[in-house]
Structure 1
Amino acid sequence: MGDRSFGYSAQVRPFLWVFLVVTPLEILLVELLVPWYWLRAVLLVLGLLSALLLAWQLWMLHRFEHSVDAEHLCLRYAREFEYRIPLAAIETVTQGMTSQADNKTRSVVDGTLVLTISHSTNVSLLLNEPQRIDLGRRGAHDVTKVQFWTDDPDGMVRALRK
């Protein structure tokens, strides 16, 4: 089985595009409304940096997608994190929307690794053995369940059940 990629950014991508399109309009308005050259120059630099960061975020969300290969499920969020879960450790895969109250993109709640997009998940994995997940400053945790979001939950479930 070859690598299959699954996006997860369809919910946030439109907002990033709106801000990317609005940024040049903002720069133009600043040029027209602000009378001080030094302030216009500073705001122009900040506006250009903002546009670059938005474009970079869009690219990162597209470049670093979830993937399934012959041995692992790789869950990602841009370059912020990447977790590799052996397919042999996955006992069951289910599809279903869940809402999370936590504002964090990733967290561990009662032994469940939760990777949300817009406070939601749509795929759940039950693991047959605990997996050690390192959340950086939030510490390492043993998890027995994983909940995450993908733009194609049907395709993800099919890929994981093979």
Structure 2
Amino acid sequence: MGDRTFGYSAQVRPFLWVFIVVTPLEILLVELIVPWFWLRAVLLAFGVLSALLLGWQLWMLHKFKHSVDDRYLWLRYAREFEYRIPLAAIESVTQGTTSRTLHRTRSVVDGTLVLEISNSTNVSLRLNDPQEIDLGRRGAHDVTKIEFWTDDPDGMVRALRK
């Protein structure tokens, strides 16, 4: 089958670009309005740091994509998390948008791992056997279903059904 990658950031990328474009305008406005040099210098440093962090986030979302290889489905969100799901453990895969308001990129709800982007998921996996998922400080959970977002749900479903 080979490695196939699938992005998941198309919904959030425009907002990040808007902030990257607006940040230099904000810095210029601060330079024109604030009379104290020391405060302008501090705000300039924060503005530059903000632009760098936004650019770094864009790069991370582009670099660390979901992927499917011959043995595993890799679900990622930048460098925040990465889950490896054996393809043999996937019982069924369906496509369909669900909306939640969990306000977290990853949560476990009633045995379902939910990996949201903008409070939505569009691919759902039912697993043969429970898989242990570590949520860090929120502990490890056994899940029997996974819901996640991908920018190409048709391609993801085709890749997982092979």
Tell me the TM-score normalized by structure 1: 0.99
- Give 1:136-155 correspondences, 5 Å limit: 136-155=136-155
Partner of 2:50: 50
Map 1:16-95 to 2 at 5 A.
16-95=16-95
Residue matched to 2:113: 113
The amino acid that maps onto 1:71 is R
Q: Number of residue pairs matched?
A: 162
The reply on whether 1:156 has 2:156 as its aligned counterpart is: yes
How far 1:131 moved relative to its partner? 0.3
CA RMSD of aligned residues (A): 0.4
* Alpha-carbon distance between aligned partners in 2 of 1:46 and 1:114, rounded to the nearest angstrom: 34
3-state SS in 2 of match to 1:113: strand
> What is the Cα deviation at residue 101 of structure 1?
2.0
What does the per-residue CA deviation read over 1:13-36, in whole Å, with 9 as the maximum and x for residues that have no partner?
000000000000000001111100
What is the Cα deviation at residue 106 of structure 1? Answer: 0.4
TM-score w.r.t. the length of structure 2 is 0.99
2: CA distance, partners of 1:54 / 1:101: 24
Runs of 4+ in 1 over 4 A off after TM superposition: none
Which residue identity is paired with 1:130? P
Distance 2:57 2:114 in 1: 21
Query: What does residue 15 of structure 2 align with?
Result: 15
Residue 125 of structure 1, CA deviation: 0.1
- Rounded to whole Å, the distance in 1 between the matches of 2:102 and 2:55 is 27
Whole-angstrom CA distance in 2 between matches of 1:52 and 1:71: 36
Alignment partners' CA distance in 2, 1:69 and 1:48: 39
Which consecutive unaligned segments of at least 5 residues does structure 2 have? none
Q: Distance in 2 between matches of 1:47 and 1:104?
A: 26
What code does the residue aligned with 1:91 have?
E
The alpha-carbon deviation at position 135 of structure 1 amounts to 0.3
**2:128 corresponds to which letter in structure 1?**
N
The one-letter code matched in structure 2 to 1:22 is V
Q: Which residue of 2 aligns with 1:100?
A: 100
Q: Distance in 2 between matches of 1:134 and 1:45?
A: 36
State the 1:2 CA deviation. 1.1
After superposition, give the CA deviation of every residue in 1:47-76 in whole Å (9 maximum; x if it has no partner): 000000000000000000000000000000
